[in-house]
Amino acid sequence: MTDVRLAQLSISMEDGKVLRWVAAHGQRVSQGEVLVEVETDKATIEVEAPAAGTLTIVAPVGAIVPVDGLLAELREDAQTLSDTARPASRLETARAVSDTRTSFASPAARRLAREHGIDLATVSGSGPGGRIVARDLATTAPAPKQTVPEAPGLRDAVVRTITASWQQIPHVQIGGELAADGIVAARAALPPSSVKVTVTDLIAFALARALAEVPELNGVNGSGGPQLSQAIHLSLAVATSDGVVAPVLRDLGSRPLDGIAAERARLVAAAREGRLDRRELAGGTITLSNLGAYPVDFFAPVISGPQIAVVATGRVAEKAVAESGWIAVRARMWVNVAIDHRAADGEAGGRLLAALERQLAALPGGASGSSAK
């Protein structure tokens, strides 16, 4: 007998909600076959069979299963073992092809297919390796819509996580309006490239170097106290149709600017198409939430526990600034740092803002910056 348990997919994950069983109770399944879709605090994920066997479902649809909780059991009976030795019938082969086609679609694509009655076997995939993603269904003529109970959205999990963080973590908010001329100069100086560098990429590049000066904000706060990380793994808040998720941009401090831009673009696309790998959501040591694409100057973010801090940035805008008795027009950006007061204090937030302002001025291609390394 092999247990199918819910793995911990992110540092803040405590449980998951069973959305849909892809395989049926009593069905014989192969190792690696998708068994069930589970909604976590970060995303909707697929749980695969760790071994071949006959499926016994333990957690029904709608059940809340804790991390390492039992979802199902796989029994290796004589029938299962004999199936591996005999050739499959044409009917079984056709069913296997259809099941494989379905499991090779992203959760978002499968949800759209269910809602519009689309047979995924008729859809060509444009995702990695030919995987079917949500955009592939846009050009498929939908069948008459069936009445299907809508699966609970990711929003419920996000709300639970934010509520728990706000109630359990003593937040201290430190904010300031920083000079952002370096961002404007760096963007203007960027050479033509196949990789588009955004303001978020420039902020992330500068933030990694600022955190090297304030390492006490890069890590998690566990039961044994703060656990700091030498590597900077940035959780990047990304808005999707199902809510906000935070894929992790790993080893931020060692990446060049174009490397940050390429990986950020890949993660954002994967998040919005519902095809993030569970490993891409785990292990973040600090979060960046940038709302600069909107007319937002200031907002107070909520820490994604057990991380120690989250950095929130608003738009880059021209402001009238007093300089040595004169008024000048300068680019400015509001930055707010929320800190778990059990792990660090406001003074660390002030030092991070000062370090970030210096690093923004020194961006590659900026007025005082050098080439990216």
Question: Looking at residues 67-78, what average pLDDT do you find?
Answer: 84
pLDDT, residue 92, reads 42
Q: Do 218 and 308 touch, CB atoms closer than 8 A?
A: yes
Higher pLDDT, 292 or 99: 292
- Three-state SS sequence of 126-148: CCHHHCECHHHHCCCCCCCCCCC
pLDDT, one tens digit per residue, over 323-357 is 999 999 999 999 999 999 999 999 999 999 999 99
- Within this chain, do residues 231 and 127 fall inside the same structural domain, yes or no? no
Amino acid identity of residue 77, one-letter, is D
* pLDDT band at residue 279 under the 50/70/90 scheme: confident
pLDDT, residue 136, reads 73
Count the Cβ atoms, other than its own, within 10 Å of residue 257. Answer: 23
Query: What whole-number distance in Å separates Cα of residue 277 and Cα of residue 255?
Result: 21
| Token reading at 91 | 């009917």
* pLDDT band at residue 245 under the 50/70/90 scheme: confident
Is the residue at 31 inside a domain?
yes
Query: What whole-number distance in Å separates Cα of residue 243 and Cα of residue 289?
Result: 14
Which range of residues forms the domain containing residue 58? 2-137
Distances (CA, A) of 25 to 21, 58, 111, 207: 9, 9, 21, 49
- Within this chain, do residues 351 and 227 fall inside the same structural domain, yes or no? yes
pLDDT, residue 322, reads 93
- Within this chain, do residues 184 and 316 fall inside the same structural domain, yes or no? yes
Distances (CA, A) of 147 to 44, 117, 154, 242, 248: 22, 10, 21, 20, 37
| Token reading at 174 | 């430190």
pLDDT, one tens digit per residue, over 107-137 is 667 767 766 777 777 777 776 566 677 677 6
Q: Is the pLDDT of residue 46 over 70?
A: yes
Is the residue at 142 inside a domain?
no
Q: Is the pLDDT of residue 38 over 90?
A: no
Quick one: the chain helix, strand, coil %, rounded to 5?
Answer: 30, 30, 40
- Within this chain, do residues 206 and 129 fall inside the same structural domain, yes or no? no
Number of independent structural domains in the chain: 2
- Within this chain, do residues 230 and 337 fall inside the same structural domain, yes or no? yes
Q: What is the DSSP letter of 303?
A: -
Is the residue at 149 inside a domain?
no
| Token reading at 368 | 């005082």
- Within this chain, do residues 99 and 161 fall inside the same structural domain, yes or no? no
Higher pLDDT, 155 or 160: 160
pLDDT, residue 158, reads 63
- Within this chain, do residues 205 and 260 fall inside the same structural domain, yes or no? yes
The model's pTM is 0.65
CA angle (292, 340, 7) in 5-degree steps: 85
Which range, 3-17, 79-93, 187-201, 313-327, is most confident? 313-327
Is the residue at 147 inside a domain?
no
Question: Looking at residues 67-81, what average pLDDT do you find?
Answer: 77
Q: Do 211 and 217 touch, CB atoms closer than 8 A?
A: yes
pLDDT, residue 106, reads 67
Distances (CA, A) of 46 to 9, 59, 185, 196, 367: 11, 15, 44, 31, 48
